[in-house]
A and B are shown apart, each in its own frame.
Chain A
Amino acid sequence: GAGVSQSPRYKVAKRGQDVALRCDPISGHVSLFWYQQALGQGPEFLTYFQNEAQLDKSGLPSDRFFAERPEGSVSTLKIQRTQQEDSAVYLCASSLGGKETQYFGPGTRLLVL
């Protein structure tokens, strides 16, 4: 009965490094979302998958951000050449699809020095 899990929980990166953040959604959930939460702000949408298809990536802030979900289950958010402004909590959420409730993981807190 596991919920959404994310790893690592914390990541410190030097500016210019590449990072990869993993999300394990609830088994059977079709929809998967990534959000970015800056300090003191609400989460903001990054990208959306339906199964393995990335149907919306309009929230990705730059072409340094890339997400994939190759088998329709686990998803990875990759950030290339990290910058200080990428420091935030990255949240993953999954749902059964459509209007169903989204369930959130604990997030990965990324600090870029």
Chain B
Amino acid sequence: GNSVTQMEGPVTLSEEAFLTINCTYTATGYPSLFWYVQYPGEGLQLLLKATKADDKGSNKGFEATYRKETTSFHLEKGSVQVSDSAVYFCALSALSGGSNYKLTFGKGTLLTVNP
């Protein structure tokens, strides 16, 4: 079956530090890949996505590149801010019978950015 493995946290960084959160996946077919973010007290929000190999998703200074050869979708940001403190989830979507594109999530990585 499909699965997502992401770097376990928690991750603690100082403001303006470089961020990498690793994510690898196992899937049949050609999945789409996502990063979702969950800010304290809020629901899941889509951060970025990529739908095919070598695509780069980007948003709010975050980037991730769909690497089919290494089955990876690592999240990066060059300079984190305190407001980036949140839980980050890597996820994939692949057709699972009929029209069901259910999401399979990793366990999440808690990021704390200190001033």
Cα–Cα, bound, A43→B102 (Å)? 11
Name the residue on A nearest B95 (C-beta).
A99
Residues of A within 8 A of B (CB): 31, 33, 35, 40-45, 48, 50, 55-56, 59, 91, 93, 95, 97-99, 101-107
Whether A48 lies near B43 (C-beta < 8 A) is no
B103 touches A33 (CB 8 A): yes
Instruction: Give the segment of B58-66, B74-82, B105-113 that binds chain A.
Output: B105-113
Which listed residue (B4, B32, B43, B99) contacts A55, Cβ 8 A?
B99
- The interface centre, meaning the residue of A42, A45, A56, A105 with most chain B CB atoms within 10 A of its CB, is A42
Residue of B nearest to A91 (CB): B44
Select A45's contact among B4, B89, B104, beta carbons within 8 Å. B104
30 pairs from A and B in contact (CB 8 Å cutoff): A31-B99, A31-B101, A33-B102, A33-B103, A35-B103, A40-B107, A41-B108, A42-B107, A43-B44, A43-B103, A43-B105, A45-B102, A45-B103, A48-B100, A48-B102, A50-B98, A50-B99, A55-B97, A56-B97, A59-B102, A91-B43, A91-B44, A93-B44, A95-B101, A97-B99, A99-B93, A102-B93, A103-B46, A104-B36, A104-B43
**Among A42, A98, A102, contact of B106 (Cβ-Cβ < 8 Å):** A42
Q: Is the CB of B100 within 8 A of A55?
A: yes
CB of A104 within 8 A of CB of B45, answer: yes
**B22 within 8 Å of A (CB atoms):** no
